[in-house]
Structure 1
Amino acid sequence: MTTHPTHLRLHQFAGFQPGPKLLVSAAVHGNEVSGIAAIRRVIEQLDSGALTLLKGSVTFIPVVNELANRLGRREGDRNLNRNMRPPVIPQDFEDRINTQLCPQLAACDVLLDLHSFQGQGKPFAMLGPRNNDGALEPFMHAEAEGRLALSVGTERIVEGWLSTYALGLARRAERTGDGSRRASLQQDPHYGVGTTEYKRSQRGYGITLECGQHADPEAPEFAYQAILRVMALLGLIAPEAATPRPAGKPELLQLYEVIDREHEGDSFEHAWASFDEVTKGQRIGTRASGEPVLAPDDGRIVFPAANATPGSEWFYLARASDRQIG
């Protein structure tokens, strides 16, 4: 039996000179561990003096979801990176995390949240919305967030998460729920809000960095280099302390569709990797009923999750974005 953790462990370094407040987090999903080793490596270097904090502050949370991490799975009681907000009355373990995590997110200026993904593929960054005053995700730091996304050194940057997720909510709400807390949460319009969306709602900005496949041996090194590049971008450490990002502009894609896995018998046509190309009408998978799941347009498949829990995201679709950053 796994005992539920009773606290959230933070490591903070505060410089003597004023500057930006950075928060770096990992293991929001307990089986996404590449960022843990990367964060601990940076902490050791700051402790030893091998790395010098010039100004501002940096707060590290190596393991956000300790329960899920101990269990070696994505979630403890539920998906922490959905329905993120301070709970009025905590109902589950992830709510208890949020009592401490949300104030930390609100207090920082910039967030770097380190993740990994199930399928094969290369690292990519998730960018927030363009500047807007709409109801879904009003925002005013698109230019700074674009520079942040460019700094980490990925070959691809993806935008459009929350607006795409909102489209899926309408379909999910039409399906009959099972009456559980999970089912009710997944029909809540707030359910698509995770770390970066919550950070933007509290002012400031941040990105989700997908560092590679869960078990990719290169992912911890990529996460480590990304942390240093972000710290250098913000002036927290000297520029020469970080390796320059690769030359050239990354590909910029926009999510436009999300498809849920509805039944355990839903299966993919083959083992998809994030950013595999699909053409209009191409069979992506098959429902348990035998109904084909076809690509509605040319584009890329993103976050394919062959073993997704029924009622949650199976895969996303993306196409080229017309956005200009950097």
Structure 2
Amino acid sequence: MELHTLVTLTIGVALLTCVLAVIGVHVYAKGRAQRAALVERLTSTGQIPVIGRRRHFRTLDRRLRRTTVGRKLELRLAATGLDVTPGEFFAAMLALVAGLWMVGQATLAPFFGPIAGLLGVWAAVQFLDWQRQKRIEKFINQLPELARILANATHAGLALRTAIGMAAEELEAPAGEELAQVANQLAVGATMDDALGEMAERLPSRELVVLVTTLVLSNRAGGQVVSALRNLTETLEERKETRREVRTQLAQVNMTAYAVPVLGVGSLFLMNGVKDGALERMTGSPFGQAAVIIAFALYTVGFILIRRLSRIDV
């Protein structure tokens, strides 16, 4: 009797589980269809952009965005203009670190594996800084044209908000993308000060700060924004030429800063090539490991000092 009751209970639980599974699949499919229909409707009306490509590492991306490091990484990626999520970049960085770790351990010595991995992290951070600086330089080169468009639009009687939207449509990236973001923030109720201030934080530069300050003060006080923007256009053109000359003069110094650590790493491969296993024997003792760490630290200090001494703010 007890066995019959147990069998009946088991069958009942199994049937209930199957029914709940079917209901769950039905609800999931219905929700997925509704979401697809909503996305299609909003995309056709232009309210959301068309998704360019399928994103990878979505689970990693969601978990990474919840952390402080993930949020900072997201801001860095937004400043670079790269179409990469924090999860994708983090996964690529891990792959780079693992690859360099194995290469350093296999070609030089096991001691150089972690050092090569740290070099991969440094290279990834430097890549982001380089992309961000390149985007800033390109944006600075567009500032004279941006100021000219704003001056002509305001001279024609258009409001500053409308002038910013017009400039976003006429200018190419990155200025067009940044101004489009400012126009979207203004459309949802953000103030002019906050929208322009966030743009200045994403792409920090003296030229942009001057332009943002001019626009904010003119918007607050209602001054002669046309004459101010036209004078600013001439100043930005002169600063653009000056920056180009300074960058040309410092090109050799910047190459020296990167050549110094490259020569140091190249000497390690040369030493190991002259006498196979020399680096492994050298790093087999604490004194050899300390010497290698001190050498890498000195190369890093030299790189930073050369970069700092060659930095001229215009």
Q: In which range does the TM-score fall when normalised by the shorter chain?
A: under 0.3
- More strand per residue: 1 or 2? 1
Which structure would you say has the larger Rg?
2
User: Larger RCO: Structure 1 or Structure 2 (Cα < 8 Å, ≥ 6 residues apart)?
Assistant: 1
